[in-house]
Structure 1
Amino acid sequence: MGQTLLSPSQIFELGFFSPNNTANRQFIGIWYKEISPRKFIWVANGENPLQLADSNASLTIGSNGNLELLDGNKKSVWSTNITGASNRSVAVLADNGNFLLKDGTSGDELWQSFQHPGDTFVPGAVLGFNAKTGVRDRLTSWRTDTDPSLGNFFAELASQRPPEGFIWINGSTRYWRSGPWDKSRFAGIVDMGTLYQNPFNLVEDAEKGTTDLYFNSYSNFTISFLVLSSEGVLKLVGKDKGSDWYIDWEAPTNQCEIYGTCGPFGVCKESESPICECLKGFVPKSIQEWRKGNWTGGCVRRSQLLCEKTSSSPSSKDGKKDGFWKIESIKLPDYYELVELDDYNADSCEAWCLNNCSCLAYA
């Protein structure tokens, strides 16, 4: 108790802490050493706090080779719980903030904190999923700014192609989405920047079944991280030496970014009143709900598409064909599909879509 572990260049520090120095709870965590107030990037025992008065608590490597947090009565509060761990294990805090448990003889990594993220994503870490094994990484918010137990929000990559990021609330309800990855950034985050200044890179490996989002060092800042706040807001935060924290971008920032605000075939414009309107050719599904300001039911087509009409339906006599209406500066719809074509251009995409009645739009 009272001792800390420093990374080689003294960038990060690991030790016991109490979030607001008044609550009767303490945790083991990792924070930036020279930053005040402290910014925590990882907490071990967020769900099992120690009593602040427990001055005999300790973090140790047990006889089975696992990292173990013990209270003053030598009762285990948290453990890496690795089966077959080496009794020659050593623990190391790296300069990127990763806390590693290694075999002291072979140097093999047995466990690392980067594979058990909390609310913060830092350069050098990876967030992703393995479609073959089902293993999936996610950021989970703190319950409050001073309570590191599991909060109401988590963020992860969805497994569709191309992938996109989601924030979920209460475990099962979509709260926000990033839009699909367009090979340089997430298309729905306008402020994310270009390929040359965006710190993120997404790599897919079809053979392994992995999709991984990498966070590279952000050239604009000396320190940077992505955090999911207790209010469900993703924030890319940066800081130079001697400067204050700067929020490079955050999402969601307004009601229009909340998932499903205007429902199917609805478009949200924060500057308008009301903020929701139906796409051209569509009308509110429920006029009564729409007038009450409840737009989640969305919109329906004013008239049927030609390709939807069966032989028993009245056919079009005015010669009009199904077509498309161009709309810009909106997030691509949620349920998209990547279609492999020989030539990616507007004409080939339009032709493919017109020949598939289940295709409603293209981009």
Structure 2
Amino acid sequence: MDARNNEILWSTNVSNIASPNTTSAQLLTTGNLVLQDNATGTILWQSFQHPTDTFLQSMKISANRISGKKVKLTSWRTPHDPSTGDFSVSLERLSIPEAFIWRGKSQPHWRSGPWNGQIFLGIPEMTANLMFALGAEGNLNEYYWDYSKKQWSMMLSAINTECGVYGKCGCGVFASCDPKTSPICTCLRGYVPRNVEEWNKQNWSSGCVRKTPVQCESEKVIKNNSSVESVAVEDGFVKLQNTKVPDYAEWLSSIDFDCRTACLGNCSCKAYAYDVGIGCMLWSGNLIDIQRFSMGGTDLYIRVPSSELEQVDGATKHTSLNVENNLQPVKVLLRMSDKSIALEHEEPEPNTFVLPPRRNRGMPSDRYSLEHIFRNSRYPIRVAREGIEIVAKAFSTTLLTKDIPRTVLEANEKAEWRKAMNTEMKALEKNGTWEKCILYR
């Protein structure tokens, strides 16, 4: 209130107060200004639910699915004018929440990438428990308290390169933006510029389009001598590492679901990604606002037709193994060469990988035996089984008596070993342990 003019400059605008004499305002140590009913202890109003341009540690940016009400940040008009500016920050895409900076009411200016419960995937440098402020120019800046200077110092900005602006590569349709390359915008593998002339002038507004349609359920006829064999051709995927995944992700509720299978099973699926905190993310529309990072981010798998995978990529490692798609009806066999089954002198079949010989294949190493432990321990050890639970005792007995297959052929005869091998292969694929390439004759 301006006491000289008896004019109210600002008010909490709370109308459900029983008596003005029973209320008090208090600034908490968190920075939250609260209006409280002293009689009941009820908080009638708090500044954390009506933020301006600053986000503190204990604040919450939220959105109500039912009412549509949002708690959001709003920028100042200028660095010196605290009236409402052109930019705001709100939480969107509530199935997989993301933070957006908006210019005006509806134009996206920047987005954070999906929230995985710990960080936003599109902010690799993000740290917790700091302060954020939305600048008048539309950038979200992160600050830390500098004890030596006794002031807040800026740590990083959300938009720190051209690629940080939403849809820099022509709304980012099927293109990725990498600030380390020149030009910064590149069509995804399997896509070409919609307008080559504009693209060469670094006008990326029209984006990219698919070069060859995906195969989905199409068939490829292969002539083998006089016979004709019909073989289903699957589309494949190329991996884009360290990315801010596209906008409009679709979430699969089961984190154990096979993301690749789900995407292949839907002809409209353009890409998929997996994050342990989120689960499967699929994209069936345009791939918008993809950004490449030097580190962090997520692996994004782009769907491409098999013909695209047949092209030799000079960046592909020759020691890699492709299990993403089947280009031709050839048999791929991992054969164990072992003297005990006399395979080491046999000529390998075409497209057969032979593992190096090992006489003790399938046999546990001596270092796992109790005798080895007793002989090599620096301190006396006594291993007793009478004090452990029945379940643990049964498990230890199983380890000592388990029949371990000596070859892949033996392992394939038992359902539990086939399941174990499939589980391991899926884990290797999901974790990106191997680079995948095409298997040629």
**1:247 CA displacement:** 2.6
Distance in 1 (alpha carbons) for counterparts of 2:50 and 2:110: 22
For 1:69-88, list aligned pairs within 5 A.
Answer: 72-87=4-19, 88=22
For 1:279-298, list aligned pairs within 5 A.
Answer: 279-298=188-207
Number of aligned pairs?
259
SS in 2 for 1:353: helix
Q: 1:104 to 1:183 in 2, by over 3 A?
A: closer
Distance in 2 (alpha carbons) for counterparts of 1:94 and 1:108: 15
CA contact (8 A) 2:216 2:267 kept: yes
Distance in 2 (alpha carbons) for counterparts of 1:240 and 1:282: 47
Q: Which residue number in structure 1 is paired with residue 427 of structure 2?
A: none
* TM-score where L is the length of structure 1: 0.67
Deviations 1:139-198 (A, max 9, x none): 111111111111111111113322011111122110111110122110110111xxxxx3
Q: Which residue number in structure 2 is paired with residue 306 of structure 1?
A: 215
Q: Which residue number in structure 1 is paired with residue 45 of structure 2?
A: 111
**1:317 CA displacement:** 4.8
CA contact (8 A) 2:216 2:234 kept: no
Higher helix proportion? 2
Deviates more, 1:266-275 or 1:111-120: 266-275
* Large movers: runs of 4+ above 6 Å: none
For 1:323-334, list aligned pairs within 5 A.
Answer: 323-334=236-247
Q: 1:279 to 1:359 in 2, by over 3 A?
A: same
Q: Which residue number in structure 1 is paired with residue 148 of structure 2?
A: 242
CA contact (8 A) 1:131 1:159 kept: no
Q: Which residue number in structure 2 is paired with residue 360 of structure 1?
A: 270
One-letter amino acid of the structure 2 residue matched with residue 91 of structure 1 = A
Bigger CA radius of gyration: 2
**Unaligned ranges ≥5, structure 2:** 223-230, 274-441
One-letter amino acid of the structure 1 residue matched with residue 35 of structure 2 = L
**1:308 CA displacement:** 8.3
Q: Which residue number in structure 2 is paired with residue 227 of structure 1?
A: 133
Partner residue of 2:2 out of 57, 65, 77? 57
One-letter amino acid of the structure 2 residue matched with residue 257 of structure 1 = G
**1:296 CA displacement:** 2.5
**Unaligned ranges ≥5, structure 1:** 1-55, 59-71, 193-197, 200-217, 219-223, 310-314
SS in 2 for 1:288: helix
SS in 2 for 1:352: helix
**1:120 CA displacement:** 0.2
For 1:1-363, list aligned pairs within 5 A.
Answer: 57-58=2-3, 72-87=4-19, 88-192=22-126, 198-199=127-128, 218=129, 224-243=130-149, 245-262=152-169, 263-307=172-216, 317=221, 320-341=233-254, 343-344=256-257, 348-363=258-273
Q: 1:117 to 1:308 in 2, by over 3 A?
A: farther
CA contact (8 A) 1:176 1:252 kept: yes
Q: Which residue number in structure 2 is paired with residue 31 of structure 1?
A: none
Distance in 1 (alpha carbons) for counterparts of 2:235 and 2:103: 39
Identity of aligned residues (%): 41
**1:316 CA displacement:** 5.2
Distance in 1 (alpha carbons) for counterparts of 2:220 and 2:71: 51
Deviations 1:284-343 (A, max 9, x none): 11112212222132111001112388xxxxx75576421111110111110111112362
Distance in 2 (alpha carbons) for counterparts of 1:121 and 1:239: 14
One-letter amino acid of the structure 2 residue matched with residue 341 of structure 1 = S
* TM-score where L is the length of structure 2: 0.56
Distance in 1 (alpha carbons) for counterparts of 2:217 and 2:125: 39
The alignment's C-alpha RMSD in Å is 2.0
Deviations 1:184-229 (A, max 9, x none): 110110111xxxxx32xxxxxxxxxxxxxxxxxx3xxxxx411111
Q: 1:160 to 1:106 in 2, by over 3 A?
A: closer
Q: 1:284 to 1:316 in 2, by over 3 A?
A: farther
Q: Which residue number in structure 1 is paired with residue 426 of structure 2?
A: none
Higher strand proportion? 1
Q: 1:245 to 1:75 in 2, by over 3 A?
A: closer
CA contact (8 A) 1:306 1:316 kept: no
